[in-house]
Chain A
Amino acid sequence: MSMTQLPPGFKITRESNTEEFFVNMGPQHPSTHGALRLALRMDGETIIELVPHFGYIHRGMEKQAESMTYLQYIAMSDRQDYLTAIQNNLGVALALEKGMNIGVPERQEYIRVMLCELGRIASHLVFFGCFGGDLGGQTCLLFGFKEREMIHDILEEVTGSRLTTNFFRPGGSRFDVPENFIPRVKSFLDHMEDSMKDYERFLSKNIIVQERSIGIGILSKEDAIAYGCSGPVLRASGIDFDVRKNNPYSIYSQLEFDVPTARNGDCYDRYNVRIAEIHESMRILRQCVGKFPAEGPWRSKEKPVKLAAGRYYSEIETAKGLYGTYVVAAAGDKPYRIHTRGPSFPHIAALNKMVQGHTVSDLVTIMATLDPVIPEIDR
């Protein structure tokens, strides 16, 4: 059937003997990972084309930022990608530090790296749970959240909050870490080492997972770059790009870690890259535990948060990918404009490329391995 006029967004023109139909997924659907609506054009069970509809959780943060002070905006960054809130804080703080020309002491650098790596593990554990859950194994959720709670205990003890941390400030952080921070991280790492064996036995070698994810949702190297993908999604397509290595911020240049990559760019690769990243994060944490300076200042001398007029850009590697903060500073303590470049937005834009020719059940697998957070897209 050839349609005279397709709904907005659909582009492919094709002749077919079978009847095409449209399926609406979302905005409230358990496996769209938030308020995202996907319009699917189907031929039988095969997806011909997919059009994402954003904006169901558009909260106008960038407009609000114009009347906020810089410090108030750090609290906003928590609510963009709430799974990696602590890393988003760092992204904003780094941009502000450039504008204030203020650095941080060594102890603070270690606090930053350690909390960010804990946040990365926590985010990947949610991925692990949701990936398993979306494939039908609800037990994975219970597994993933078990260790995640341990990380949240540490985060709560340090920052005072489980999820929306609002912790890093230009030149330091809100508080110093408590005395038992290092022992707790140590005991968490020991525990996590054992659990990882369980995790891998549970999903990596599971025949159902392999059957449903190998060869599904392939994103080629060229497409991954062209669509602006980043993070594990880009690395699973075979590109060795990690902001921590390529544009090292904080003290990542002094730490030893590898950037796991894969070759095929399918769902199984994206899963494996994330699991390998948990191992790498633990490696970084082990080094930090050894090197953590017991003495010394934890923040720089306090300065009013006022930026010299100009434009400042910082980028960091969150668990999802490249998180960029672009600050246009006017004189005073309020920004003229703040723009955030979130990693999930390009991933969903590239989704159409990945799902074509697959079934709806594969779409669920692909969505899970992209690990998007919708409020970060809509902002």
Chain B
Amino acid sequence: MGIINFAPKILDPVPGGKYVVNAIDYVVNWARANSIWPLTYGTSCCAIEMMSSSMARYDIARFGSEVFRASPRQADLFIIAGTITRRMAPALQMLWEQMPGPKYVLAMGACTISGGPFIYDNYSVVRGAQNLIPVDVFVPGCPPRPEALFHGLLTLREKILKETCRDPWHEGDTKDVAFMDRYREAAKAWAELEKIKDEEMAEARAKFKEENPDYKSAFKPVRVVKENFPEIAREATPSRGLSQSEMFAKLQAKFPSATVPASGEDTVEAVIQNMAADAPLEVTIDANDYLSAVEFVKNDASFSMDYLIDVTAIDYEDHFELITMLRSMQHGHKLFFCTPLKKNADIPEEKRATALLAKVPTVSHLYPAAEVKEREVYDMFGIEFTGHQDLRRIFLDKDFVGYPLRKDFTNPDMIKRPV
């Protein structure tokens, strides 16, 4: 559209020429506004609503936007459908840069406006797409309904129709300051505004009280008739396979360190007796016995724990607890190994946040499923799995500082949830 942008310079000085420029504007805008081709970009929930809006019921084709392009080079509109994480941000900026101008950005959903449900205590979500690329239209909702998306599209259409080649579309800047925190700025400004308001109102309130000392509000709360609901106890669902006490007896015969945590006067037997039938047996086992215990329950015919449900961990003050969840496909019983892992106390205080604090042998050679799960525990807790073939960070970048699921994890980007 390079030539058209010169048209006003040539035609505007000529008598009657501005009508020609207006006509050019009209034609160009008509074409642009009626065929906005969006880029297929969806990371999470909003993408499904974006898909819904292009289907038969809602039919985005009514607005000329049905041609979802997989390549940014053919797209006019960037619908950011879904949360943007720090890891995704460079890819998003690159996609925007690859789009030819004039290009528009529609931020769909609460996540792309402010971070949405992921504002507080979060170390990975970018709080709003406007921190990365210039945004034309915001569509609130979590996720927005297709109708809301259409309202956004029509708003964008209006914006395009107002364009003129006297002031042609120009590329806004990608923000060179990555991830600036508008949320905190806005919250601060809001708090100040509230304070000023409160001060102004205080005077009026005092005056009102002075003038009407006997004033009582006429408002009476109406109580909705409350329905009476019965108290219902939980029905235990039946379990299959070995019972918890059978499993525990067999395990303890083999591994004397295996226990079930019992508190106060309860004996271990009593704790197991009181377990719900469908609850998995959680056995605490010494870290030295961990690998041989997992091997044992996998190969023993009466256990035959062939299915690994999950591996995860819990961070306590002085130790981690590794939870290995196993199930037997054949018999149907479940067994969770809880392995306390002492935190390495030799590491100096200032290095603890970035250091691997505990070590445990891997079980990924027994269960291929454990490979990714152990990487997740490594990534989130900083627990080393000795003998693991491919121990890398899985969800976070390799230069991410710290291990987020530790209780003492701090990150400058985290905003504490107000109580």
Report which A residues bind B (CB closer than 8 A): 8-9, 11, 27-30, 34-35, 54-60, 62-64, 66-68, 75-76, 78-79, 82-83, 97-98, 101-105, 126, 141-142, 145-146, 148-149, 152, 162-164, 171-172, 223, 225-228, 239, 241, 246-249, 253, 297, 299-302, 311-313, 315, 322, 324, 326, 328, 336-337, 339, 341, 345-346, 349-350, 374-375, 378
Contacts and interface: CB of A to CB of B under 8 A. Distances in A.
B122 A375 contact: no
Contact of B118 (A8, A64, A145, A312): A64
A334 to B, nearest CB: 10
Nearest to B231: A301
Interface stretch (B15-23, B242-250, B364-372): B364-372
Given A82-B45, A226-B368, A313 B280 contact: yes
Contacts, number: 224
Contacts of A56: 43, 85, 87-88, 91
Given A28-B91, A239-B329, A35 B51 contact: no
B95 A163 contact: no
Interface stretch (B3-11, B186-194, B304-312): B304-312
Contact of B143 (A55, A164, A247, A345): A164
A339 B67 CA distance: 40
B52 A149 contact: yes
B21 to A, nearest CB: 39
A336 B317 CA distance: 12
A302 B229 contact: yes
Given A82-B44, A341-B310, A59 B118 contact: yes
Contacts of A67: 120-121, 416-417
Q: What 4 pairs between A and B have smallest CB-CB spacing?
A: A228-B369, A55-B395, A145-B55, A58-B395
A152 B371 CA distance: 37
B386 to A, nearest CB: 18
B87 A345 contact: no
Interface string B139-174: 000110100000000000000000000000000000
A97 B314 contact: no
A136 to B, nearest CB: 13
* Majority-rule SS of A interface residues: mixed
Given A142-B55, A339-B312, A375 B232 contact: no
Contacts of A246: 240, 332
Interface in B319-371: 323, 325, 329, 332, 334, 336, 367-369, 371
B367 A57 contact: no
A94 B383 CA distance: 30
B332 A326 contact: no
A93 B308 CA distance: 23
Contact of B404 (A28, A60, A98): A60
A243 to B, nearest CB: 10
Contact of A301 (B45, B230, B314, B407): B230
A97 B234 contact: yes
A79 B118 CA distance: 11
Contacts of B300: none
Interface of B: 40-45, 47-49, 51-52, 55-57, 70, 82-83, 85, 87-88, 91, 95, 117-118, 120-125, 142-143, 145, 227, 229-235, 237-240, 276, 278-280, 282, 306-310, 312, 314-315, 323, 325, 329, 332, 334, 336, 367-369, 371-373, 380, 389-390, 392-397, 404-405, 407, 409, 416-417
B145 A57 contact: no
A346 B124 contact: no
A272 to B, nearest CB: 22
Nearest to A300: B232
Given A246-B240, A301-B230, A341-B309, A59 B124 contact: yes
B57 A101 contact: no
Nearest to B307: A225
Contact of B395 (A54, A142, A339): A54
Given A9-B392, A75-B117, A164-B45, 16 more contacts: A56-B91, A57-B88, A63-B121, A63-B404, A63-B405, A82-B44, A98-B234, A141-B51, A145-B55, A146-B57, A164-B142, A241-B329, A299-B229, A326-B312, A328-B314, A336-B314
B120 A375 contact: no
A239 B125 CA distance: 39
B29 to A, nearest CB: 30
Nearest to A248: B237
A346 B416 CA distance: 33
Contact of B309 (A30, A82, A146, A322): A322
Contacts of A58: 85, 87, 124, 395-396
Of listed B238, B282, B325, residue having the most chain A CB within 10 A: B325
Given A35-B88, A141-B55, A311-B282, A337 B314 contact: yes
21 contacts: A28-B41, A34-B44, A55-B395, A55-B396, A63-B122, A63-B123, A67-B120, A78-B45, A82-B45, A97-B234, A101-B233, A148-B52, A164-B143, A226-B367, A227-B368, A247-B332, A299-B229, A301-B231, A313-B336, A339-B323, A341-B310
B279 A313 contact: yes
Given A75-B117, A163-B45, A300-B230, A339 B394 contact: no
Given A9-B390, A56-B43, A247-B278, A66 B371 contact: no
Nearest to B122: A60
Contacts of B85: 35, 55-59
A127 B143 CA distance: 20
Nearest to B369: A228
B91 A247 contact: no
A78 B117 CA distance: 11
